[in-house]
Structure 1
């Protein structure tokens, strides 16, 4: 049965006894810290009562005594076997050659400004890369559109099904629920002014101009942009994109353009469905909770809601779709040959797509407001 190691302070040395092994590391760690704090440095070690010894125990002895002093003791002590002498010398030599741990400097204003500068520079480089890739995609599309024989119809139809038809139920359900919530909030505020009848106009304008296209775009940014990045990133990791270039095929023409065009086709459709579902959800709340009849709802929509609001919402959809598809494909091309890189760029594509969609929507809202549209 083994006994835990111990340290007994003497007048001129420290007596080491028991087993200095990994099994007793926690106890030995406490003893070493206590002795190091209470005993003066430079005391020799008496190893006559030393029991078991492994690398963990040798490392603690090196901390207690110092790496160089432990090397000298290992060479001169007559109580050590050749195996233990070799173990102590190896551990002491390794700890002596290890670089000292550098203290982490406290953050200063200069370091924080430098970190902010690096972040801004990285963001600017990312935007330059996006703009360059956008130009490459646009030039490839301009070269392909006049040549119908070069169109990838099968790939386009497959991506339309994956990005549009498969996303239709979740877009309709989400916008329906958000429409109901907007109607409840609008009715709560307008009831104080005796104007609950305007809840119908509020829901209709909100979904025609903003919520319909914005919710659909955010859903596609999380659902489709991530899928594009994962697909292209996996192809990059498997060197399939390099194989396409070796065969003389353009990856942008073969992989990117069908995805961009499919998203530009499906997002306006999803936006229109989202508008209808949101208005339907709000109208249902008006019908059940506010006692506004179906005839009144239809009359308000026909009288107060102009077609320009529908066109504003649908006009933003192709732009959002183009940005989402380009960012998703670009992040896929940036991935390296590892699963971790593919995961990181997939996350990055979702974050960038949602950010750019909201930014462009805010810019468009200010522009349309100034134009009086």
Structure 2
């Protein structure tokens, strides 16, 4: 059975059309149920498709020559939402021509356009950017927000916890994902007032499909004993860049060490299976595909520097979210939270009347 079409902003990213089409083609070779709406310059897309005959029968082209620049301000990009490949890909989701959109373009512009066109879901004040990161265990950890909101309040953190848990249930299969708030310590008295209030609300909430387990420090994010890490976008983006930078540092350090002498080169040959596994595990392309959660539609952000394999992974993430009905899951969980709060209010009112 075919999935709804995925709109691909073919002009976004550092490499543009060639890499985006190659990535989509790779994803389709792995899963022939994928169909695409390729948005961008038709001539360039058709040239790229010549190398991928498996894509022709599964794709429609929406011609567009205008592109959102990588350093363009979101406010500027919004004015051209109806003429750019990014804007038209998102509009296709709103109009029902596609079930989801994928872009490797400007993150701020993508967020602004998606929020304006699709609007936030009922019960969500602000959407959040969520991504998967590797851990020492078999499953990845979901982390949000990673830069969409530099400031937030306790209500936002609670909403993001619910959305992150819904996403985690899809990728980990856990019925009640373990959720923690990113903090400077694990003690209950640590952290800002916003964090402490959000923690109190999550502890008190009942009926949610998650297990709130308090706080987590940044050095424990990738240990594997947490399924969802929730934080504001400012802290989350810093943590993400720090983790990615450390991964590149370790990879480069090993490369330098193994090429420093003849003995080191021999050691590299002996340990190559282990180092290749490490390289695969740390490669951001294998975890590519950040999701804007909380919108009335699925929008996925690919790394601007992603390879074709990375784009294929972002497409696969998008398809899985469509298949597993992420938006509907979040809606149901928010309804549970609303019911729990209503019951709590009624209980408090009844207790007050009894007094």
What TM-score results when the alignment is normalised by the length of structure 1?
0.20
Q: Which has the higher strand share?
A: 2
As a proportion of its length, which structure holds more helix?
A: 1
Structure with higher Rg: it is 1
Q: TM-score, normalised by structure 2?
A: 0.21
Which structure's relative contact order is higher, taking Cα pairs within 8 Å and 6+ residues apart? Answer: 2
